Amino acid sequence: MKIPVDRKYSETHEWFLLEDDTATMGITQYAADELTDITYVDLPEVGAKVSTGDAIAEVESVKATSEIFAAIPGTVTAVNTALTDHPELINDDAFDEGWMIKIKVDSNASLENLMTAKDYASFLRNSA
C-alpha cells in the first residue's frame, strides 16, 4: 500500500497535508479499505471552528460508521462536496480525490505530534 510522504498521519487513520496555513484532511487508504464500500459522508459546515480531538465528520460504510477527528485547531474553509453524491471517491482514491475537509489552521498550531508516512507504516504493521 502506498502512503504519501508529503503529509502527516494520526493513530485514528486520518491524513493531514499542510500547505501554507491550510491543512487538507481525509482518511487513509488503509482506513478506507478496512471500512469497505463507503455509503455516506457527513461533513462539517464551512466556517465551523474545530479543536484538536474533535469529531468533525462521519463516514459510513456497509460495515461500520466511523467518526473523523481533527488533529489540529482551526476553521473549516472548504469541504469536498463531491463526496455527497460520490462517497466511493474515498474508496477509489483516499489520498487525493477523496479528500474531505480543508482547515485554515490557527497560528502557531502544528502537526508535530502526528506520524510521518514511515511511522504510520510501522504503526500499521504493529497494529495488524
The DSSP annotation for 74-85 comes to EEEEEE-THHHH
Question: Residue 20 CB, nearest distance to other proteins (Å)?
Answer: 34
| Residue (of 87, 100, 82, 84) closest to 17 by Cα position | 100
Question: Residue 88 CB, nearest distance to other proteins (Å)?
Answer: 8
- Nine cell digits for residue 32: 478506507
* Minimum CB distance to other proteins smaller for 5 or for 62: 62
Q: What residues make contact with other proteins under the rule CB under 8 A? A: 34, 37, 39-40, 60, 62-63, 87
* Minimum CB distance to other proteins smaller for 18 or for 115: 115
Residue 118 phi/psi, 5-degree rounding, is -65, -45
Question: Residue 5 CB, nearest distance to other proteins (Å)?
Answer: 26
* Minimum CB distance to other proteins smaller for 87 or for 98: 87
Residue whose cell numbers read 463516514: 59
